[in-house]
Structure 1
Amino acid sequence: GVDAPFVHAAVRSAEMVKYVANAFHALKVCFANEIGDLCAALGADTHEVMRIFLMDRKLNVSQAYLRPGFAFGGSCLPKDLRALLYAARTADVSPQVLSAILPSNEAQIRRGVDRVLETRKRRVGVIGLSFKPGTDDLRESPMVTLVEALIGKGCDVRILDPSVSLARLVGANRRYIEEEIPHIASLMCEDIQQLLDHAEVLVIGSASREAAHALAAIGPEHIVVDLTRGALRPASTP
């Protein structure tokens, strides 16, 4: 027999698991081959690169980043991906899989914007502005892009993110948000109740404690757009 746990699942889920597994295996083959092409063109030892890459069992070969949610952002992933693609272009290499990542990520943001607009409500409350919970780094945060798009569509947006103190933002981080949303200070709320009092639609942008508390406090008049895809459960205490 097979030395593996027996898992009970819905028929549709079981069917999807097989397709997802094989699609991921195919993706890994294509990813590794594109990295091999790049390494060859740039004079790097592809086997050494991948050997070191595979040594990281915390992020590279693990469950990390494999839970459906919202788009990625921050100061590292987009920047380094663009740098890799630039190196590929200069070496006359066309990595199709790598080139599709940023457009796919942007499509996730557009889908989030569309979900809010489909409610046909104007007053929107957003929980989570930084690119991940627990940081004040707003650079290339998908939530900043989403908020900017909603404002451009005429929505009246308010934001709650306790990790973001505008007075403490410095350097490139401060310049980024001032360029993207110059009037950001007027949109920030101090607490959950202030946000809920404003919002007809509540957008959950991060799996944070504040988001869980907000979900526990919402009323029947609120429409929830959960970009974490159900990663949260209501907090037991407000």
Structure 2
Amino acid sequence: MNISIFGLGYVGCVSIGCLAKNGHHVIGVDVSQIKVDQINAGKATIIEKDIDIIIAEQRAKGNIEATTDSKEAILKTDITIVAVGTPSSDKGHLNLNYIFKVAEVAGLAIKEKKDFHIIAIRSTIMPGTCDKFAAIVEDASGKKRNVDFAIVDNPEFLREGTAVEDYYNPPLTLIGSDNSGAAETVASLYRQLPGEVIITDLKIAEIMKYVNNTFHALKISFGNEIGNICSEMGIDSHKVMEIFCKDKQLNISPYYFKPGFAFGGSCLPKDLKGLQTLAHDLYVSVPVIDSINKSNELQITRAVDIIQHTQKKRIGFLGLSFKAGTDDLRNSPAVAVVETLLGKGYSVKIYDKHIHLSNLTGTNKVYIDHHIPHLSKLMVKDAEDLIKDVDVIVINNREQEYLDVLEKAGDTAMIVDMVRLPEAIRNKNNYTGINW
């Protein structure tokens, strides 16, 4: 396939070499004559393991060339890959000037092109950038998106120092587009590589680089704070984290990575507070760990705000415990929401088949007596009766009984979902999810 790559910096240089090695003819485009001359001389524009050898080999075979003439490059190719820089401002906003400049020159070239053209953006961009890019191309070319050209987002996940190895051994390849044909064409560039090729929506693809790298930064900071605590106690922090990473069922797994309501129960809040206290006693500052509970409290505030936004006063809760299949009310975020709503004058009713007030004992009873002392007056014995009597139904647990009741229910009461209900319910007009 004939491919043009705009930007001969880090990502562009690695891409031009690796794509050429995979059998494609690649034209590099850059405003820097120095970089263009380097590629045409068979030299890499960056220092990176193995890329210098690849560039030299592929240039010698005639699979690589470079130019400053953007129009010529686009007219000669089927796919354009955009790998120009998107540097951050001091306040964290991206400078997208280079990206949008490419959109302008691409549009002028596509104006003269008869064949359908695909533009794949590899640069790091914010959600919505591809749509703006496409609009600029339309204005400059006078042609139509998904008729004469298509936009694909194909974020790169290359690490400096191992970029060539990462290119050929990706954990996954991500492609976002609103054009299935264009997405599949770009996917064909990577089908021979290991790792799943995932085709998804544009904005999902656009945000993934930020999600990934922010989590990597969080992991480093978390590991460092654990290391600092361990160091003060003479504990081998590397052994601690080595054991931590061996748990692939909970610790290193998808289990807790599901957006939704706040955490609760007896274990997570207690142990989080215990570790914070230990750090405090050791005079070790742990801002990442200290912020976890603050974030959790904000999720409870978010739930209250969503309920208030309905402007309804009669609220029904399906499920009160912190987790489905249990009667544990300790630190249940739903209890905190109910307590807040009662304080604001709301009428609240609750149904939870697992909670029998006469059976509550110990710390579970002490907790609920402190936060909702008159819980017995709020509880109802039948879920269907609750639904008939309220204007807003808050789903706090994913119990099959609640799903069955909601499927039978009409659209009179608003549904506020904390657990991500099935799609059939999410598609109702009276439905709101906490963060989806």
TM-score band by shorter chain is over 0.9
Letter aligned with residue 159 of structure 1: I
Letter aligned with residue 261 of structure 2: F
Q: Residue 360 of structure 2 corresponds to which residue in structure 1?
A: 169
* Alpha-carbon shift at residue 2 of structure 1 (Å): 3.0
> How does 1:1-12 map onto structure 2 within 5 Å?
1-12=192-203
**Given the alignment of the two structures, is residue 150 of structure 1 paired with residue 354 of structure 2, yes or no?**
no
- Flag the structure with more relative contact order, 1 or 2, with Cα contacts below 8 A and sequence separation at least 6: 1
Q: Select the structure that is richer in helix.
A: 1
Q: Residue 159 of structure 1 corresponds to which residue in structure 2?
A: 350
Q: Distance in 2 between matches of 1:232 and 1:3?
A: 32
Q: Residue 395 of structure 2 corresponds to which residue in structure 1?
A: 204
Q: Which residue, out of 84, 98, 113, partners 2:304?
A: 113
Q: Residue 185 of structure 1 corresponds to which residue in structure 2?
A: 376
**Given the alignment of the two structures, is residue 232 of structure 1 paired with residue 422 of structure 2, yes or no?**
yes
* Alpha-carbon shift at residue 29 of structure 1 (Å): 0.8
Letter aligned with residue 168 of structure 1: N
Given that residues 212 and 234 in structure 1 are in contact (C-alpha distance below 8 angstroms), is that contact kept between their aligned partners in structure 2? no
1:121-146 alpha-carbon deviations (Å, 9 max, x no partner) = 11000111111000111001001001
* Alpha-carbon shift at residue 233 of structure 1 (Å): 4.8
> How does 1:34-49 map onto structure 2 within 5 Å?
34-49=225-240
Given that residues 212 and 233 in structure 1 are in contact (C-alpha distance below 8 angstroms), is that contact kept between their aligned partners in structure 2? no
Report the count of equivalent residues.
Answer: 234
Q: Distance in 1 between matches of 2:308 and 2:206?
A: 33
Given that residues 37 and 93 in structure 1 are in contact (C-alpha distance below 8 angstroms), is that contact kept between their aligned partners in structure 2? yes
The two structures have a TM-score, normalised by structure 2, of 0.52
Q: Residue 288 of structure 2 corresponds to which residue in structure 1?
A: 97
* Alpha-carbon shift at residue 234 of structure 1 (Å): 5.7
Q: Select the structure that is richer in strand.
A: 2
1:177-227 alpha-carbon deviations (Å, 9 max, x no partner) = 111111101111112111101110011112221331232122121111112
Q: Residue 248 of structure 2 corresponds to which residue in structure 1?
A: 57
- Which consecutive unaligned segments of at least 5 residues does structure 2 have? 1-191, 426-436
Q: Distance in 2 between matches of 1:8 and 1:127?
A: 36
Q: Distance in 2 between matches of 1:206 and 1:68?
A: 14
Alpha-carbon RMSD across the aligned residues, in angstroms, is: 1.4
Q: Residue 31 of structure 1 corresponds to which residue in structure 2?
A: 222
Q: Residue 262 of structure 2 corresponds to which residue in structure 1?
A: 71
Q: Distance in 2 between matches of 1:184 and 1:218?
A: 25
Letter aligned with residue 2 of structure 1: L
Q: Which has the larger radius of gyration?
A: 2
Structure 1 segments (4+ residues) deviating >2 Å: 230-235
Q: State the identity %.
A: 45
User: Which moves more between the two structures, 85-94 or 206-215?
Assistant: 206-215
Q: Distance in 2 between matches of 1:18 and 1:112?
A: 28
Q: Distance in 2 between matches of 1:101 and 1:215?
A: 33
- Which consecutive unaligned segments of at least 5 residues does structure 1 have? none
Match of 1:6, SS state, is strand
Q: Which residue, out of 210, 214, 218, partners 1:19?
A: 210
Q: Residue 160 of structure 2 corresponds to which residue in structure 1?
A: none
Q: Residue 332 of structure 2 corresponds to which residue in structure 1?
A: 141
Given that residues 73 and 139 in structure 1 are in contact (C-alpha distance below 8 angstroms), is that contact kept between their aligned partners in structure 2? yes
Match of 2:206, SS state, is helix
